[in-house]
Amino acid sequence: MEANPLEIWAAGKPSVLAAFGINAALAAEATCELLTWVRSGSGRRPRLQRRDGERWLEYYSNHRTFLADLGCALGWNPQRVARLLSAYRFLSWCTRAERVVVEATLRELCGQTPKGVYANATRFAELGKRLAADGICSPNDNGILGEIDWEALCRTSVGQFCFRVALPCWVLHGRWPGKVLCDATRWVGPDRTALDLLVGLDKQVIHHNRMQRFLHDGPASLQAGRQRRVGKALQRSTRRLSRKQIKFRIGRLIIDIAKALHVEVTSGDIRELFDAVGQVQKGLQRDADLPASPESHTKGLQRAKGFWLLPVVADMKR
């Protein structure tokens, strides 16, 4: 039986990193497909009732609520959502802790010598193996994501928030929507790019308590300037990223996570990973979205350096 290209890529790499890298690369391909699908009009925005609108705004303040609702919409049981949150918290912690502490914790988790410290370290290993085996691609394909009723998911507020706010915030700004909102509404030195992005993506965000305070507190001249800025942002359309840019940014995230785990991942490793995904999903020898030149590929990843904010911030105050 021919070896799975993703398993070949994972060979010799720490399992926690290999599984995360595979998940991220597969998610990059799925993100490209899903955003294209939603923009085509297949996932039309439903009209939100008042209760749904309040829940929508809560997703900005609490990512746990969002993940719980998304898991419910996908038919996941609470235990699966809890495992996802545990894995997320583990990687978030790794980005903050000192190297010695990370390695000691992983040794304790694994019950292994330092040489095999990363083997089977987190839930990501189990999830990564399943993703590699089942495949993940566009809404029309089989595999884990292929099992989802995308039309039904797009009729839910959590599905719409995922496709129209959360995913674009990640690939355009490298942050969770709640963090983008915090950056956009800082009392001193608000991030205008974040403000334009968020209001362009989601006009409902102007009803969030934090945005309301930003627009209506303080001197009248300050309020007027901010309201003009938001008014202009409401009239603009959000810029789009190419498939290449999305994959460069996801590739950079894998490199940054590897650095947090004190493991070196090169631009060549990222190229091989996306090529492996292309082989598994589409039968291609290489990912056609990325440049063939190694130099161009390396430069694309370098341009994405500093894009991701690690660790991802916890829930913010409303």
102 belongs to a structural domain: no
Tally Cβ neighbours within 10 Å of residue 152.
10
Q: Which two tokens stand for residue 146?
A: 């292929």
| Bond preceding residue 311 cis, omega within 30 of 0 | yes
63 belongs to a structural domain: no
| pLDDT value for 2 | 64
pLDDT in tens, the chain (318 residues): 566 787 788 877 776 677 778 878 877 877 777 777 766 665 555 555 555 788 899 999 888 888 888 888 887 777 767 766 666 666 667 666 676 776 666 555 544 443 333 343 334 444 444 444 444 433 444 444 556 677 778 778 888 898 889 888 888 888 889 999 999 999 888 898 899 989 988 889 999 999 999 999 989 998 999 999 999 888 877 667 788 999 999 999 899 888 877 788 999 999 999 998 888 777 778 888 999 899 999 999 999 988 886 654 344 444
Total tally of structural domains belonging to the chain: 1
Q: Which two tokens stand for residue 249?
A: 């940014």
18 belongs to a structural domain: no
Question: CA 163, CA 117: separation in Å to the nearest integer?
Answer: 37
Question: CA 204, CA 193: separation in Å to the nearest integer?
Answer: 18
248 belongs to a structural domain: no
For 216-222, the CB contacts below 8 A with 24+ separation are 218/187
| pLDDT value for 54 | 86
Range of the domain at 182: 167-235
Question: CA 64, CA 62: separation in Å to the nearest integer?
Answer: 5
Q: Which two tokens stand for residue 164?
A: 């129209």
| pLDDT value for 15 | 67
Q: The pTM is what?
A: 0.71
| pLDDT value for 208 | 94
| pLDDT value for 129 | 42
25 belongs to a structural domain: no
113 belongs to a structural domain: no
218 belongs to a structural domain: yes
| pLDDT value for 317 | 45
| pLDDT value for 156 | 85
Count of helix runs (H) and strand runs (E) in the chain = 17, 0
220 belongs to a structural domain: yes
